[in-house]
Amino acid sequence: MSGLKHPTSLLIIATAMCAALYAVGSFATASIPSPLLFGQFRPAVIVPAVFGVIFGPIPAAIGAALGTLIADSAKHGTLYMGSVMAAVPGNFIGFYIFGYILKKRFTWTRFIFASVTTLTVGNLITAFLYVFVYKALYAQALAFYVGDLTFLSISLFLYWFVTMLPFILLVVPPLIRAISNAMPNIVPEGIRVHSLEKDLPMRSFSLTMIVPGIVMLSSGLATTFTSLRAVTLSAVKGDTTVLALLEWSYYLSGIVLVVLGILVLIRQKMLKP
């Protein structure tokens, strides 16, 4: 990665640290569920993202897979098969992609692309495996109706995507810069030379939040005013509480993403000489 090859011993240590930090961070928010009442709020995705930027795909992928398994199993008090069947492969594949995209060459534009790709692929894998394989087939907690399970999977994916996106886009860059300043010997040169103020594509960061925000607001309006409401109610088996939680999560996440995107644009204009 940009001329720096980390020794194997350091990669092993980085993998262990990534797994430990991700496990602790994930466990800290394990009690905050999605509107579907399964699947958790997980801002700790910033941990494997940071390790993926600095150390590449393997430490990030293995660390994320082990970390999520440890956190989920600690929450449930036993080896959690939902994590084994869904979260482990989703996290491994997602963060391997993230590290691989940034391995050869680092720019903040590629970072944005890697973040969106990882959150899309990793969360789709996790959501569909969790709903179809674990919930419906293994645990038999959901009736196996393909249409309803697909809807639940997409809803879970959207929740994870929009709640993880702002943390990766807004928290990881300053962390990378801080680590580059504090421990330059472990950070590839291609990352160190990218100054946040001069290189950060603020408009791209802004649009990457505003567009999903508009999608979520549109989903909320569709759930409130169109036949999507009936489809949602059918998928959640008539549970009006879950329906309301989903509806308001669309509005809240949409508003938050749009506002954050606008604030990024405002900050860009304020920093211009």
pLDDT of 3 higher than 90: no
Helix 228-235 with 240-271: angle, nearest 10 deg: 120
What are 151-177's pLDDT values in tens digits? 999 999 999 999 999 999 999 999 999
- Please give the structure tokens belonging to residue 147: 């249409």
Q: Residue 87 carries which side chain, given as an amino acid letter?
A: A
Distance CA 205, CA 108 (A): 9
pTM summary value: 0.95
pLDDT of res. 41 = 97
pLDDT of 195 higher than 60: no
pLDDT of 136 higher than 80: yes
What are 32-72's pLDDT values in tens digits? 999 999 999 999 999 999 999 999 999 999 999 999 999 99
Chain-wide mean pLDDT for the chain? 93
CA R_g for the chain = 19
Q: Residue 90 carries which side chain, given as an amino acid letter?
A: G
Q: Which phi and psi angles does 241 have, rounded to 5°?
A: -70, -45
Band (pLDDT 50/70/90 cuts) for residue 104 is confident
Distance CA 266, CA 15 (A): 38
Cβ contacts of 91 within 8 Å, gap of 6 or more: 48, 61, 64, 65, 67, 68, 122, 126
- Residue 33, SS3 per DSSP: strand
pLDDT of res. 272 = 63
Under 8 Å between Cβ of 40 and 143: no
Number of residues that this document lists for the chain: 273
pLDDT of 94 higher than 80: yes
CA distances from 240 to 35, 117, 179, 247 (A): 11, 33, 46, 10
Phi-psi region of 42 (alpha: psi -120 to 50; beta: other; left: phi over 0): beta
pLDDT of res. 67 = 98
Under 8 Å between Cβ of 165 and 206: no
Cβ contacts of 169 within 8 Å, gap of 6 or more: 112, 115, 205, 208, 209
Band (pLDDT 50/70/90 cuts) for residue 231 is very high
Q: Which fold has domain 8-200?
A: Arp2/3 complex 21 kDa subunit ARPC3 (1.10.1760)
pLDDT of 86 higher than 80: yes
Cβ contacts of 196 within 8 Å, gap of 6 or more: 108, 173, 174, 177
pLDDT of res. 1 = 44
CA distances from 104 to 57, 179, 191, 195, 215 (A): 11, 20, 11, 18, 32
pLDDT of res. 265 = 87
